[in-house]
Structure 1
Amino acid sequence: MTRRISAVSSRLWRLPAAALRRGALARRGLDASLRRGLVVLGLGLALAAAACSPIYRNHGYVPADDQLAQIEVGRDSREDVAQKIGRPSAQGLLNDVGWFYVQSRFEHFGPRVPKEIDRQVVAVTFNGNGVVDGVGRYGLEDGQVVAISRRVTETHIKGVSFIGQLLGSFGRVTADQLINN
């Protein structure tokens, strides 16, 4: 019976030791999963911070000041300006009195609408003979908001096809009108 008691007591002593070992292993597993979770959380935060950092984009071209210094007002022609600083992407549309070099810098920040943070415009104006009249540099602070009018001239020939228009004019012209002209 003493053997039996000693066997039972040795089992009792082993049980807490085994339970402690299992607890230590469980704690190690918890520590490993906690570490993995913290690493995943850290990577997620790093990606979120990188996604929210601003991205800058440049559009257009503006010649540098040293290139603009090569242009001689009152002496250089359009071709001289084209050779010295290149042709612009925009010209005066109605009267062709100037060349406009435009450069803009936009800030893209996450899902927000891009914001224009800088704009440079170089205007090279010409006189009637095509000779440089002036060179000016303007920034975003010099700009003005211009309201664009969306007025459109309506046509009065809605619903009438091209052939319908041709056939509709037959009765309006007489033979004596054609002969007298």
Structure 2
Amino acid sequence: MQRKSYGIRRVVPLIAALALAACSAQYRNHGYVPRDEDLGQIVPGIDTRATVEEVVGVPTSSGVLNESGFYYISSEMRQFAWRAPEVIDREVVAISFDGAGVVTNIERYGLEDGNVVPLSRRVTQSGGGDISFIRKLFGNIGRIGTEGLLGGS
């Protein structure tokens, strides 16, 4: 009888430890943001796109219109158990260029500076205001005359 209770005493704490470990939050880092020391080497008005790439590396993204800037983006995500991943920290470094490709500005943004921007809306607006489909259907009964059916004017 003592052998069974000894085995149970060993297994129960092991199962409890595994259950607690499975419920711990997992953290993941994505992207790259240059350090302040590296950004300090870039001089606005003098450095160009090529020198920025040499000093801090290739950007995560660049401006779409006229290649207006470089963007370095870093995010920290947390996932806990079955819940969807949540962004807990985000940092964006934006390096702006003029038309000649010379650095004009260096800015750093955090998660608190961000705004949610909907990239596309998939909402169809109805053209009839508050009138429902059935009301429109029954509203047309009686409006069609024999001239309309026969093609007369």
Please give the TM-score of this superposition, normalised by the length of structure 2: 0.76
Shift of 1:55: 1.1
Q: Which residue of 2 aligns with 1:89?
A: 60
Unmatched 5+ stretches in structure 2: 123-153
Q: Which residue of 2 aligns with 1:26?
A: none
Map 1:138-153 to 2 at 5 A.
138-150=109-121
The SS at the match of 1:130 is coil
CA distance in 2, matches of 1:112, 1:39: 31
Higher gyration radius (CA)? 1
Q: Which residue of 2 aligns with 1:129?
A: 100
Opposite residue 5 of structure 2, the aligned amino acid is L
Q: Which residue of 2 aligns with 1:114?
A: 85
The SS at the match of 2:24 is coil
Map 1:12-91 to 2 at 5 A.
29=1, 31-91=2-62
How many residues were matched structurally?
122
The SS at the match of 1:62 is coil
Deviations 1:28-64 (A, max 9, x none): x2x3212211211111110011111111100000000
CA distance in 2, matches of 1:136, 1:74: 15
Higher RCO, Cα 8 Å, sep 6+: 2
Opposite residue 118 of structure 1, the aligned amino acid is D
The SS at the match of 1:100 is strand
The SS at the match of 2:45 is coil
CA distance in 1, matches of 2:111, 2:60: 18
Percent of aligned positions that are identical: 48
CA distance in 1, matches of 2:26, 2:8: 30
Shift of 1:150: 4.2
Unmatched 5+ stretches in structure 1: 1-28, 152-181
Please give the TM-score of this superposition, normalised by the length of structure 1: 0.65
Which segments of structure 1 move beyond 3 Å, counting only runs of 4 or more? none
Q: Which residue of 1 aligns with 2:133?
A: none
The SS at the match of 1:33 is helix
